[in-house]
Amino acid sequence: MTAALLVATALMGLAGTAAGAIAPVRFRIALSSALTIAACALGFVVGAEVLHSGHAAVVHTTTLMPLASFSLALDRFGALFVVITAVVGICAMIFRFGYDGQGLASRTASSILPLFVTSLLLVPAASNVTTFLFLWELMAITSLLLVLTDHARRSEVQVAGQWYAVMTQLGAAALILGLVLLATRSGSQSFAVIAVRSAHLPAWVRSTAFVLAVVGFGSKAGAVPLHVWLPRAHPEAPGPVSALMSAAMVNLGVYGIVRVGMGLLSGGPAWWWLLVMGLGALSAMFGSLHSATSKDLKRLLAYSTTDNVGLMLLGVGASGLFADTGHRALALLALVAALLHVVFHAVFKGSLFLSASSVHQAAGSTDLDQLGGLLRRMPVSGPIFLVGGLAIAALPPFCGFVSEWLLLQSMLHGLPSGDVAIAVAMPIGVGVLALTGGLTAFTFTKAIGIGLLGLPRTQDAERAGEVGRPMWIGAGLLAVLCLVFGVAPFLVIPSVVDAAGAVPGLHLAGALTRGWNVALPGVPGMLAPGLVAIGLVGFGGLVALGRHLVQQRPVRLTEAWGCGRELQTARMEYTATSFGEPLTRVFEDVLSPARDVDVSHLAESRYYTEAAVIHTTIDDAFERRVYRPADRMLVRWGAVARRVPNGSVHRYLAFGLVALIVVLVVLA
């Protein structure tokens, strides 16, 4: 039953692709989106059924690909990711009905988008190396083409596409090496067989395969230092695509690390997981710092994805570390916290990216310094962004709060386990978690306060209006989920526990939910998100009522006080740059901002200033220190290498002779 549905999901997605390619222009978007939504709905049903029953959905055929079998087996762990992708996919496709920006209506884009969503849905089901790599590359290439949708009009898109192409192909190369190494050494390419035989492989094979997998999946997840494509590609991709990439595709990097590290290799030595935690801590700090100082809304969201992936990796690493030291219940707890964060991140980041695209369409810019006053002008999309921002800042009563709490708890309870590696890693983990938590609150206060509140800073922002209904419905569904999961996390936690329990060797004695509350087995006290929400609404209502009763005169609209100046204009407002300035200064050593001051003087007298302009740019340190030098070095080597084949036939004959001699010497 589930197997047939899984096939139907794939076919429905392919039908969407076909519809996008051949349907007449009038029906193109509607038809391809509707078929993609149907594919997502089918995927949701398969995923939910597998999660519920625990029976894997298996599809196996040898006729589809030459020399290798095409094999899908969706277990509970993979099913969780299918469900997440399906929900995000449905919302992004609904959003797309109203979205007309950035060339997403073209024939190419309309046919590739369904294929991208289908590959996202199928990757977690792949159960042998060939199938996995095929679907993984399909996902990488379709997403690359979608990033490039608008390349003809804007040159930044091409640059972003190049970065993304290089990073994703480097990652894929690492993945192919790692998985092929595992497959040849264990004599089978089936995941199930590898999982059984991998325990007998030599340690260097296992470690090499794991490190290669971390590199490959880390680049897709956007973990520092492999994140450089993310803040470039996400702002340039069309809205629904960046939402899908950030809320669904990035998850699969985390999926891959868990699948290879805990599934295929069934856990490993402590240093593997310390590596993962280290990557996670670095990503979380670096991502949150850069998102706190970014002034472009989509770039800020992209860096915040790096930040959240870091938190997920912290959880995954902690889980592996606990499993390695024999704390199985703690290992499951940490993995559940990480996976719960995957789910919630998909929900709030999806709604944030979609509503940021609404803002882009309505106000013509994603530069925070060009926005302002949009909450009053966009009465639905504004609150959607507000909810997403509060959720990502881990504030109650929204969902981010619950997963961060669980992550903190898993580290707190791991601390007294007596192991030195854990004793060092956990306080650092909590410190990182806390710093990113504070920085995220800062970031989204800025994003909401500068972007949506106050006065509009440009005429475009002044004239902005609410976007079409499909757009706010798509983004709004996810925002509603932020609230629902934040108030009633018991709706989703048991499924996540089931999914994490599919990873071999992890057990939890007891449930993580008690009624509406989140509780750890055997520990007094619990988290009551529902109660917090009721308390907030109840006390808030009482306070508002009290305020109304003591002062019933209507609120008088006044001009804001400004130290005696006559008129308030948007130029006097704080900008995103000025809002982030104190933090930029505090972290000056890490961010090393470049500051240019241009002062032009009056022609009559140089003692008077005509205009002064200050430019502050904050480059990505890894881009500047690692990637740019590497790029320059490659170009230089290329120039040297170009001199070797100079067109002379004699030289080529000499190369042939030397090669032949070398081969003979080696063979002899």
Residues numbered 569-628 forming contacts with other proteins, rule: CB under 8 A: 570, 572-574, 578-583, 585-586
Show Cβ contacts of residue 181 under 8 Å, excluding neighbours closer than 6 positions.
205, 208, 209, 212
Report residue 323 as tokens: 């499993």
Residue span 273-292 as binding mask against other proteins, x where in contact by CB under 8 A, dash where not? -------------------x
Q: Does 24 help bind other proteins (rule: CB under 8 A)?
A: no
Q: Residue 575 Cβ, how far from other proteins at the closest point, in Å? A: 8
Q: Which of 200, 553, 606, 650 contacts other proteins by CB under 8 A?
A: 553
Q: What is the per-residue binding string for other proteins in 367-406, x denoting contact by CB under 8 A?
A: -----xx-xx---------x---x--xxxx----x--xx-
Distances in Å between the alpha carbon of 416 and those of 248, 420, 422, 632? 35, 10, 9, 49
What 3-state class would DSSP assign to 516? coil
Q: How far is the CB of 444 from other proteins (least distance, A)?
A: 8
Terminal CA-CA length for the chain: 60
Task: Examine residue 117 and tell whether it contacts other proteins (CB under 8 A).
Answer: no
Cα–Cα distance between 286 and 290 in angstroms, integer?
6
Q: Shortest CA distance to 41 belongs to which of 124, 125, 121? A: 121
**DSSP alpha helix (H) spans, 59-128:** 76-98, 107-122
Distance CA 67, CA 254 (A): 30
Shortest Å distance, C-beta 16 to other proteins:
40
Quote the tokens at residue 349. Answer: 């980041």
DSSP designation for 64: E
Q: Which is nearer to other proteins, 431 or 510 (CB)?
A: 431
- Tell whether residue 438 is a contact of other proteins (CB under 8 A): yes
Euclidean distance between CA atoms 520 and 544, whole angstroms: 36
Q: How far is the CB of 393 from other proteins (least distance, A)?
A: 7
Neighbours of 595 (CB within 10 A): 10
Q: What are the structure tokens assigned to 180, written together?
A: 């092929």
Which of 431, 505 has the CB closer to other proteins? 431
Kindly state the smallest distance separating residue 610's Cβ from other proteins, in Å.
Answer: 23
- Give the binding range for other proteins (CB under 8 A) out of 5-13, 158-166, 540-548, 623-631: 540-548
Task: Write down the least CB distance from residue 410 to other proteins, Å.
Answer: 12
Segment lying near other proteins (by CB under 8 A), choices 113-121, 150-158, 309-317, 554-562: 554-562
The size of the interface with other proteins (CB under 8 A), counted in residues, is: 84
Nearer to other proteins, 156 or 588 (CB): 588
For other proteins, the binding residue among 25, 65, 511, 544 (CB under 8 A) is 544
User: Nearest approach, Cβ of 421 to other proteins (angstroms)?
Assistant: 12
**Least separation in angstroms between CB 304 and other proteins:** 14
Stretch that binds other proteins, among 170-178, 198-206, 266-274, 552-560 (CB under 8 A): 552-560
Any bridge partners for residue 313, and if so which?
Answer: none
Q: φ, ψ for residue 61 (rounded to 5)?
A: -145, 145
Q: Which is nearer to other proteins, 54 or 540 (CB)?
A: 540
Q: Which is nearer to other proteins, 412 or 633 (CB)?
A: 412
For residue 42, the one-letter residue type is L
Single residue of 25, 65, 196, 543 touching other proteins by CB under 8 A: 543
Decide: is 454 part of the binding site for other proteins (CB under 8 A).
yes
User: Which one of 26, 200, 507, 556 is in contact with other proteins (CB under 8 A)?
Assistant: 556
Could you say which residues in the range 480-539 bind other proteins, by CB under 8 A? 517, 523-528, 531-532, 535-536, 539
Q: 145: how many CB neighbours lie within 10 A of its CB?
A: 19
CA distance linking residue 362 with residue 241, whole number of Å:
18
- Our CB check for other proteins shows the closer of 326 and 562 to be 562
Residue in 1, 25, 65, 412 binding other proteins, rule: CB under 8 A:
412
CA distance 616 to 618: 7
In angstroms, give the least distance from the CB of 286 to other proteins: 15
Among 67, 560, 613, 667, binds other proteins (CB under 8 A): 560
Strands 609-617 and 513-514, sheet pairing: unpaired
Residue type for 271, please? W
Q: Which is nearer to other proteins, 566 or 604 (CB)?
A: 566
- The three-point CA angle 382-387-389 to 5° equals 95
How many CB atoms lie under 10 A from the CB of residue 385?
Answer: 27
Sign of CA dihedral 180, 305, 246, 74: positive
* One of 86, 140, 213, 450 touching other proteins (CB under 8 A): 450
- Residue type for position 280: G
Q: How far is the CB of 420 from other proteins (least distance, A)?
A: 9
Cβ-based neighbour number of residue 546 at 10 Å: 10
